[in-house]
């Protein structure tokens, strides 16, 4: 069973002005589609991956070739990314247990600042993350390329609660080289209800 490109959960222009329609079209229809197709090539070439979920594949990524690592990461990361952003009716604010964890971290302003610093400081392409584990504590991390915190050899392992794509293809059409400006603006389109659901599922 091949992996399929998941549809965007909103219209291409639903995140404007933070992320414009043209960026979303290329990012989903070209970039995410390419990661999906290449992941399927890698899975088809390796019988031991047959029937495995993407999370199972990421959990054994250290034993797999770069084709599966880069495109399996790209496949999962973008599916996650679309879902933790929302159209104007699906944004809200932190609530419930996630809001308490953010307070314990030092507050939302500190979380944003640390996350934006990680994202701006990631040399080259990569991702910034907010992760947690069964302790419920929040941690900010970054990964290079299409790596993520679910990989068995990740430096900072955990369950992603939020993540932002800092590859130039995610922001260059609007923000050009201003990655910090993109990181700052991105918080306007976070789907806090979805982040809260993922937090609740992670901490049990
Ligand atoms: Mn991307």
Report DSSP letters for 88-106, one per residue: TTS-----HHHHHHHHHHT
Cα(33) to ligand 1 centroid in Å equals 11
Q: Which helix (H) or strand (E) holds 60?
A: none
Does residue 59 register a pLDDT over 90?
yes
Which residue from 92, 51, 77, 50 is spatially nearest to 145, judged by alpha carbons?
77
The residues, ordered by sequence, that sit 6+ positions from 195 with a Cβ below 8 Å of its Cβ are: 84, 94, 98, 161, 162
Residue 144 alpha carbon to ligand 1 centre in Å: 12
What is the whole-number distance in angstroms between the Cα of residue 27 and the centre of ligand 1?
Answer: 6
What percent of the chain shows pLDDT beyond 70?
100
Rounded to the nearest whole angstrom, what is the distance from the C-alpha of residue 93 to the centroid of ligand 1? Answer: 25
Consecutive H or E run containing 71: helix 66-83
Q: What is the CATH number of domain 96-203?
A: 3.55.40.20
Average pLDDT over residues 118-126: 98
Distance 30 CA to ligand 1 centre (A): 10
Question: What mean pLDDT do residues 142-155 have?
Answer: 98
Q: Which residues pair with 143 in a beta bridge?
A: 127
Residue 204's pLDDT is what? 83
CA–CA distance, 97 with 119 (Å, rounded to integer)? 25
Q: What is the pLDDT of residue 65?
A: 98
Distance from the CA of 81 to the center of ligand 1, in angstroms? 9
Domain boundaries, the chain: 21-83, 96-203
Asked whether residue 1 carries a pLDDT value surpassing 80, the answer given is: no
Distances (CA, A) of 112 to 102, 105, 118: 10, 11, 10
Distance, CA 167 to ligand 1 centroid (Å)?
A: 6
Three-state SS letters, 160-199: EEEEEECCHHHCHHHHCCCHHHHHHHHHHHECHHHHHHHH
Q: Regarding the domain delimited by 21-83, which CATH topology (the fold level of the hierarchy) does it fall under? A: Helix Hairpins (1.10.287)
pLDDT tens readout for residues 13-57: 999 999 999 999 999 999 999 999 999 999 999 999 999 999 999
Decide if pLDDT at 190 tops 90. yes
* Residue 24 CA, ligand 1 centroid: distance in Å: 10
Ligand 1 center to 104 CA (angstroms): 31
Rounded mean pLDDT, 67-90 = 98
Query: 100 C-alpha vs ligand 1 centroid, how far in Å?
Result: 30
């Amino acid at each position: 069973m091949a992996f399929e490109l998941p549809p965007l959960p909103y219209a291409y222009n639903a995140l404007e002005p933070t992320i414009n329609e043209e960026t979303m079209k290329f990012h989903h229809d070209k970039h995410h589609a390419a990661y999906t197709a290449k992941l399927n090539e890698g899975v088809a070439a390796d019988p031991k991956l047959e029937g495995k979920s993407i999370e199972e594949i990421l959990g054994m990524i250290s034993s797999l070739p770069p084709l599966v690592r880069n495109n399996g990461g790209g496949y999962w990361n973008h599916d996650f990314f679309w879902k933790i952003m929302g159209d104007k009716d699906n944004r809200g604010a932190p609530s419930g247990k996630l809001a308490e964890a953010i307070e314990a971290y030092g507050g939302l302003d500190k979380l944003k600042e640390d996350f934006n610093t990680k994202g701006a400081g990631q040399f080259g392409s990569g991702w910034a993350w907010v992760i947690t584990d069964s302790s419920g504590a929040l941690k900010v991390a970054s990964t290079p390329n299409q790596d993520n915190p679910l990989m068995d050899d990740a430096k900072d392992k955990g369950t992603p609660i939020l993540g932002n794509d800092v590859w130039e293809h995610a922001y260059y059409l609007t923000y050009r080289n201003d990655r910090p400006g993109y990181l700052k603006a991105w918080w306007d389109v976070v789907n806090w209800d979805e982040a809260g659901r993922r937090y609740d599922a992670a901490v049990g």
